Structures are given as structure tokens and as C-alpha cells.
Chains A and B, each alone.
Chain A
């Protein structure tokens, strides 16, 4: 049986932990709101962009740009790994890294080399510990306010490296936000850009009328101007999704931790009361024993 003092200390420790987890939960909640707002603001742009791109791609054909042409025998694969900077968000980062690892195992044939761009400290640390080739890293971006210029600067580098044959394929790993309780790690091919036709089929459903545009300059030129931008847009959206997911994951993790603290407090209080009762009983026995001895 632990002593009264021990239990008391333990209770106060758990209470303090609970205070922290509760505060972190509330911070994550308010940050999540901000992140969702950012996603909301991005939606009109993304929607319109996909629509225009779809109608142009249809016009210009599949081979209008080198960014569209798949390469046989891809040997140099680049992965953009989006994770959070900070932990205490459950299995969030681990899941993302597992996703990347599984993909690497799948592709790990002879002579395939991997390189990484890291958004977020956790993914960077993993790459560093596993001696992966790291091309660039960006900390302090996921989870805070993300500017589009971050995505376009990094996206431009990816496109340039792809055109210079430094990479054969570029993928992005990020956490897609499906709702408060559901964030799914997703792997998506960024370069070469997968055929855009499927996106357009979806669009046709909700926009029955797709205008035949007069294009200036030609549709091909426009497309080759827009395709790199499509990469930036994808990257930006991946970063927004990851940020939002991070906050949601942290909220859930902190909620669980607070609940666990409550359970522990209950058990500990019970134990404390028992210990106190035992002490009182023992003291009483002493007094009664002493009195008996005097009377005897």
C-alpha cells in the first residue's frame, strides 16, 4: 500500500497533466477553426482552376507538355513528405511516415533511388535518422498560416528539377482531412501530371455547360502555362489538408489524454481515501489498545 503522501503527490501530478492536455485541446480547437477557414478560402480558386484546366486539357490533348508524359522505367523518385512540426497528436505523423515507407518498399526495385523534400520537423527527423537523401526542408509551415508563395516557390523547384531529369517521378504524401475523427494519409502522384480527363468527367456532372473558349495565346500555350501552376495548387492544397488534419488529430489525442487523466484521478482518489481510512483505523486501534492496557 503506497503511503498517503505518495498518493497525494501522484494526484497533484495527474491534475497538472490534465490541465496541460486540456489547454492543448482548446488551442488545437481554435487553430483547427483557422485552418478550416483557410481551406474554405482556397476552395473557389481550386474549383475554378480545375475546371479551366480540364477544359484546356481536353482541347490540347495529352501530350501537349512534357509535364504530362509518363516516363518509362522511373529510377529517381522524389517524395514530398508533409508532416507536422510537433508531436502530441496521436499516430498522425507515424501514419504518414508509414505511408511513405510502404510506398518505398513497393517501389524498391533495382536501382531506384529516393529523395525527399520535407515539410514539417517530424518527417525531417525520420529522414535524417534513416539516412534518406534530403533535398530541402521547410519547418514552421504546416500547422500555421500557409502562404501560397511557399507552395509556388517549392513547386517551381520541383518542376524545374523534373524537367532537368533530376527526378523521374514526384509524389506527395500528406494527410487528407475527411472530418474531425478521420484523417487519412494519402500518396498522390504530382509529376508527371496524371491524365486530367477523370477530373473533368466529375466536373461535367455539376457544370452542365462548359464554354468553348477563345484562347489567347493558343490552348497549348495556355496549358503549358497552367500545368506548372497546377503543381503549386496541388502542393498548397496538400499543405492545407495536412495542417487541418494535424490540428484535428491533436484535438482528438488531447481529448483522449484528458479522459485518461480523469480515469486515473478517480482511481487515485479511491486509493487515497482507502489509505487515509487505513491510517485512521490503525491510529484508533492504537488508542483503544493503550486505553485497554491502562484499564487492565
Chain B
């Protein structure tokens, strides 16, 4: 039985994805998980990472998410994220610049443990994930 499940990815600025999908794979904070139609209701936070889904025409899609959480219902998956981009929308130059910036900051902060350190690490993580996704086409 190949029933479809509705996938919605929304950020505070816009709705990024609103589509029917066959399967959705998302990076939960305790591990990656897949959702098919009929999934039990489920709520989890997400890591910075990539959501993978297959649409009704068997086309595979990738969406970058960061700072989000996901709710799975039997017929619907909702992802609320602070930022989310489809693969084709990723700004490669910006991600590369962000990596450089974050690395510089990390190097400068290495000695003293501080808030900037964790922030820079998070920024690096985001940029790397974006770059990864954009370059695997």
C-alpha cells in the first residue's frame, strides 16, 4: 500500500515545502528517522541537517533545516524550523564564506571557552551541512 503523506516545512518567514510525499526521512536529535503514512503521532527536535523525501512521482528531494522540530501524524509531517532551504536555493558562496568566518572565529576562541565558541561551532555546522547538500547534486 503506497499511500502518500503530507509534508510541510515552515519557517517564520515562509512555507518552504507543502507537498505529498511517499517517505520522509528527517534528522531527529536522537537519530535519523523515517516516516511513512500511518506513522504514530510523534514529536521530536531536529538536528541541523537534511530532510530527504520522495514525492509522488518518485523524485527525491532534499531540504536543509536548522533549529527545528518535527511533528509526525498518521497522515502528515510538519517541520517547524528557524531556517530551511531546498537544495537548489542554497547560496553556495554565502555558505563558503560562513565556513571561513566560523573557522576563523573558532581558531581565535579556542583558548578561552566562551559562548562565542559554541555559537561559531553551530554556525560552522550549519554552513557545512548546506555545502554538503549543495555539492552532492
Where the two chains meet, the residues of A that have a C-beta atom closer than 8 Å to any C-beta of B are 38, 41-42, 44-46, 48-49, 52, 56, 147-149, 151-152, 160, 211-217, 222, 225-226, 229, 232-233, 236
* Listed A/B pairs (25) with beta-carbon separation below 8 Å: A38-B13, A41-B12, A42-B12, A42-B13, A46-B12, A48-B71, A49-B80, A52-B43, A52-B69, A148-B12, A148-B83, A212-B41, A213-B71, A214-B42, A215-B43, A216-B28, A216-B42, A216-B43, A216-B44, A222-B44, A222-B45, A222-B69, A225-B69, A226-B69, A229-B67
Interface of B is mostly: strand
Smallest CB-CB separation from A145: which chain B residue?
Answer: B13
Q: Are B13 and A225 in contact (CB under 8 A)?
A: no
Q: Are A214 and B15 in contact (CB under 8 A)?
A: no
Q: Does B3 contact A (CB under 8 A)?
A: no
Q: Does B14 contact A (CB under 8 A)?
A: yes
Given the complex of chains A and B, what is the CA–CA distance between A216 and B30 in angstroms? Answer: 7
Contacts of B41 in A (CB 8 A): 211-214
The residue in B8, B13, B30 that gathers the most chain A C-beta atoms within 10 A of its C-beta is B13
Q: Are A45 and B42 in contact (CB under 8 A)?
A: no
Contacts of A214 in B (CB 8 A): 40-43
Q: Does B11 contact A (CB under 8 A)?
A: yes
Given the complex of chains A and B, what is the CA–CA distance between A95 and B12 in angstroms? Answer: 28
Smallest CB-CB separation from B44: which chain A residue?
Answer: A216
Number of interface residues of B (CB under 8 A): 25
Given the complex of chains A and B, what is the CA–CA distance between A215 and B10 in angstroms? Answer: 20
Given the complex of chains A and B, what is the CA–CA distance between A226 and B82 in angstroms? Answer: 12
For the complex formed, measure the closest distance between the CB of A7 and the CB atoms of chain B, giving whole angstroms. 53
Q: Are B28 and A48 in contact (CB under 8 A)?
A: no
- Residue-wise, chain B 24-61 has the 8 Å CB interface mask toward A (1 for contact) of 00001110000000001111110000000000000000
Q: Kindly identify, within residues 57 to 104 of chain B, every residue whose CB is under 8 Å from any CB belonging to chain A.
A: 67, 69, 71, 73, 78, 80, 82-83
Q: Give the 8 A-B CB pairs with smallest separation, nearest first.
A: A211-B41, A213-B43, A216-B44, A148-B12, A41-B14, A45-B10, A214-B42, A45-B12
For the complex formed, measure the closest distance between the CB of B106 and the CB atoms of chain A, giving whole angstroms. 19
Q: Are A44 and B29 in contact (CB under 8 A)?
A: no
Query: Which of B12, B15, B45 meets A225, CB within 8 Å?
Result: B45
Contacts of A148 in B (CB 8 A): 11-13, 82-83
Given the complex of chains A and B, what is the CA–CA distance between A152 and B82 in angstroms? Answer: 9
The residue in B12, B78, B82 that gathers the most chain A C-beta atoms within 10 A of its C-beta is B12
Query: Which of A44, A49, A229 meets B15, CB within 8 Å?
Result: A44
Contacts of A215 in B (CB 8 A): 42-44
Given the complex of chains A and B, what is the CA–CA distance between A151 and B116 in angstroms? Answer: 18
Q: Told that A152-B67, A217-B30 touch, could you supply 15 new A-B pairs with CB distance under 8 A?
A: A45-B80, A46-B12, A48-B80, A148-B13, A148-B83, A151-B12, A213-B42, A213-B71, A214-B40, A214-B42, A215-B44, A216-B43, A216-B44, A222-B45, A229-B67
